[in-house]
């Protein structure tokens, strides 16, 4: 049995983003653990808060989790900037990841306003 949130495009994109981040940070040197750990947690938080929000009965409660999810997407932005500055990721990868975050954020805004 599938959970309803698994059918949401924003959830699928959030899972794909988290998976990409996990794979990406796996190659970071141990000296950059603080960046990889924080980025992995923030990326995973996007999808987990979408799931948790969909498990709530009250509309206000659901919206709150979608807001937290959107905040986690925004949280990834400065971490990715630092990764780029430390040359852990290239300019093109940085741009692509930010575009993914922008799309996810817009979709979450749609859920919040729905």
Report the C-alpha gap between 15 and 44 in whole angstroms. Answer: 7
- Cβ count near 5 (within 10 Å): 16
User: Domain total for the chain?
Assistant: 1
Predicted TM-score of the model (pTM): 0.94
Burial pattern 29-50, b for ≥16 Cβ within 10 A else e, equals eeeeeebbebbbbbbbbbbbbb
Asked if 54 and 5 touch (Cβ cutoff 8 Å), the reply is yes
In this structure, what CATH number is given to the domain that contains residue 39? 1.20.1440.60
In the structure, what pLDDT confidence band is assigned to residue 1 with cuts at 50, 70 and 90? low
Residue 9 neighbours by CB under 8 Å, 6+ apart? 107
Asked if 10 and 104 touch (Cβ cutoff 8 Å), the reply is yes
The mean predicted confidence, pLDDT, of the chain is: 96
Domain of 104 in residue numbering reads as 4-113
**Tens digit of pLDDT for each residue in 81-101?**
999 999 999 999 999 999 999
Report the C-alpha gap between 38 and 56 in whole angstroms. Answer: 26
Query: Is residue 71 over pLDDT 70?
Result: yes
For the segment 21-31, the average pLDDT, to the nearest whole number, is 95
């Amino acid at each position: 049995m599938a959970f309803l949130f698994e059918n949401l495009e924003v959830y699928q994109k959030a899972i794909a983003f988290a998976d990409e981040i996990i794979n990406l940070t796996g190659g970071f040197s141990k000296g950059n653990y603080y960046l990889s750990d924080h980025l992995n947690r923030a990326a995973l938080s996007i999808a987990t808060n979408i799931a948790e929000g969909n498990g709530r009965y009250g509309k206000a409660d659901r919206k709150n989790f979608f807001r937290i999810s959107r905040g986690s997407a925004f949280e990834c932005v400065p971490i990715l900037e630092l990764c780029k500055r430390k040359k852990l990721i290239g300019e093109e990868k940085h741009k692509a990841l930010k575009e993914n975050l922008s799309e996810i954020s817009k979709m979450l805004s749609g859920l919040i306003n729905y």
